[in-house]
Amino acid sequence: TKVQKTLDTFFFFD
C-alpha cells in the first residue's frame, strides 16, 4: 500500500 508523505521531509523552515 502507498503511504502519504508529508512536506516536512522535503521543505525546511527558513
Partner 1 sequence: MFEARLVEGSLLKKVMESIKDLLNEASWDCSGNGMCLQAMDSSHVALVSLMLKSDGFENYRCDRSISLGINLASMSKILKCASNDDIITIRAEDDADAITFMFESPKQDRVSDYEMKLMNLDTEHLGIPDTEYACVIKMPSGEFSRICRDLSVLGDSVIICCTKDGVRFSAKGDLGNGNIKLAQSANVDKEEEAVVVDMREAVTLTFSLRYLNFFTKAAPLSSQVSLSMSEDVPLMVEYKINDKEGDSKGYVRYYLAPKIED
Residues contributing to the site for partner 1 (CB under 8 A):
1-14
Least separation in angstroms between residue 9's CB and partner 1 is: 8
Determine the Cα–Cα distance for residues 14 and 3; give it in Å rounded to an integer.
Answer: 27
Determine the Cα–Cα distance for residues 14 and 6; give it in Å rounded to an integer.
Answer: 17
Least separation in angstroms between residue 4's CB and partner 1 is: 5
> What cell was used for 7?
512536506
Least separation in angstroms between residue 2's CB and partner 1 is: 4
